[in-house]
Structure 1
């Protein structure tokens, strides 16, 4: 199974980059790595049908160019090893690949990302890791919605959570999270493939949802139903310009904004019941 990598250069990057990602995800693109000046995207070679239906590429107000190359399956590890660097979140947490040396930190997380989103490099994941480090997870029940690599669920367990459900609609992310929880010796994480329709007859002390604005606004009422009365809802995957819409939707179901982190126009916010 070979993949195609497309390297898009975009001017201006936003909001065109977000629109491009949304359109490409409808065409079967599986992974996106945002970078300065553009985005790297990946799709199975057999699934690529061209860009005729991608409207943002025809927008005269946006300049988008791209190059592409094929990545054969056996070379995929070498490709991400070339780009994947370890990251530190504060003084306590390190997210690294298996080939990086272990350092003396309280929370050492080993992630092999493959094609999954959520290594900690993107601002949204990094800020969500900050939230997990700053809040009490001892004996909590936790949902990691849109888990990607499972990095948030893994840190939640290391922080003392007793029951964690990790859900992602992407089969690659489902398999990758399974591998990463085993790699990190986790014992309290269950992984499910699917979407918010799985969230019936469940309740959580903490909900972590790092997805995108449209899915968040759609699913916030569901998160409110499954959140315990004194629970916390952590949201990310949206821009500063989206804060008002996110907060209004939360308020409509009784959830009050309490705080947020912001980095490069991305936001990770915290909400709880009034």
Structure 2
């Protein structure tokens, strides 16, 4: 069974609505990408996907399901907080990227020289999703030593933490969701990093400074399409993910004359490295 939990549920509630959808892996991946701004958590299995929502969003999700033909069977249930926390420990296993970096829950012991510990009970990004995995791959292929980094949509802070471990000196991270704040700083403490990392709750619409050596953005396609035209710097490197393979031409068109240096692919997802 291939299970990942990417955006772990926000545990400020006690009961969540649980949606089980059936269909091809491709159809389920696409649908969950459409619900990214609503869902609290997601588990992908071989034959079904389990997606978690707040109760108030059920009607919105049902409307989306009714308008998405590739998914024709689904069912709703509920899960309580204590059951979810136990499920988190049951499902969250170490993620190893290219035998160079491991991403582990705080209760696990490190087994590699480059190890990132996080608290997945509150996390917004655990490394299991293809997009995060490829962002880590791309970072490992880049020279971040003594460089500046802009981490857009940081979530749990995995990419900022890795950047620091890879030698970056000036790191600025943002996320629009204020529920990420405590988790971000908790994960910095778990990894004994923090100096040289600044974090703000900020929407992408309000970014006006892209003067960093490396810009990392692992966010959904629509936000990327709004973001790209604003980046008018040169001599730096932009790394993008959150892009489905079927949207490749859309993102390439938006990039225009910007040089795509490398494309990573993992299942239905892409990660692009662009020279500005």
TM-score by length of 1: 0.86
Q: Which digits, 9 at most, give the CA deviation of each residue in 1:140-171, with x for residues without a partner?
A: 11111111211011000100111111111122
Distance change in 2, residues 1:129/1:60 (3 Å): closer
Change (3 A) 1:232 1:24: closer
Residue equivalent to 2:30:
18
Q: Decide whether the 8 Å contact of 1:167 with 1:174 is kept in 2.
A: no
Structure 2 portions without partners, runs of 5+? 1-12
2:153 is aligned with 1:143? no
Residue 235 of structure 2 corresponds to: 230
Residues 30 and 115 of structure 1 are in contact (CA less than 8 Å); yes or no, is this contact kept in structure 2?
Answer: no
What do residues 48-86 of structure 1 show as CA deviations (whole Å, max 9, x unaligned)? 4534762323545532313422222x5543231111000
* CA 23–158 in structure 1, closer or farther in 2 if over 3 Å, else same: closer
Judging changes above 3 Å, is the alpha-carbon distance between structure 1 residues 197 and 48 closer, same or farther for their aligned structure 2 residues?
closer
Structure 2 partner of 1:212: 220
Match of 1:163 among 163, 170, 188: 170
Q: Does 2:46 correspond to 1:36?
A: yes
| In the alignment, structure 1 residue 112 sits paired with structure 2 residue 122 | no
Root-mean-square deviation (Å) = 2.3
Partner of 1:122: 129
For 2:247 and 2:14, the matched residues in 1 are separated by 36
CA distance change for structure 1 residues 163 and 244 in 2, over 3 Å: closer, same or farther? Answer: same
2:73 match: secondary structure: strand
d(CA) in 1 for partners of 2:172, 2:207: 10
Tell me, in whole angstroms, the C-alpha distance in 2 between the residues paired with 1:132 and 1:24: 24
Residue of structure 2 in register with 1:4 after alignment: 16
Higher mean displacement: 2-11 or 58-67: 58-67
The structure 2 residue matched to 1:260, chosen from 250, 263, 266, is 263
Q: 1:258 to 1:79 in 2, by over 3 A?
A: same
Unaligned runs of 5+ in 1: none
Q: Assess if the C-alpha contact under 8 Å between 1:116 and 1:172 holds in 2.
A: no
Residue 55 (str. 1) matches residue 64 (str. 2): yes
Q: Which residue of 1 aligns with 2:8?
A: none
Are 2:241 and 1:271 equivalent residues in the alignment? no
Q: Which has the higher contact order (CA 8 A, sep 6+)?
A: 2
Report 1:184-203 matches (<5 A). 184-186=191-193, 187-203=195-211
- Please state how far the C-alpha of 1:20 moved relative to its aligned partner: 4.5
Partner of 2:250: 245
1:6–1:31 distance in 2 versus 1, CA, 3 Å: same
Q: How many residues align?
A: 263
Equivalences for residues 96-107 of structure 1 within 5 A: 96-103=104-111, 105-107=112-114
Match of 1:77 among 79, 85, 88: 85
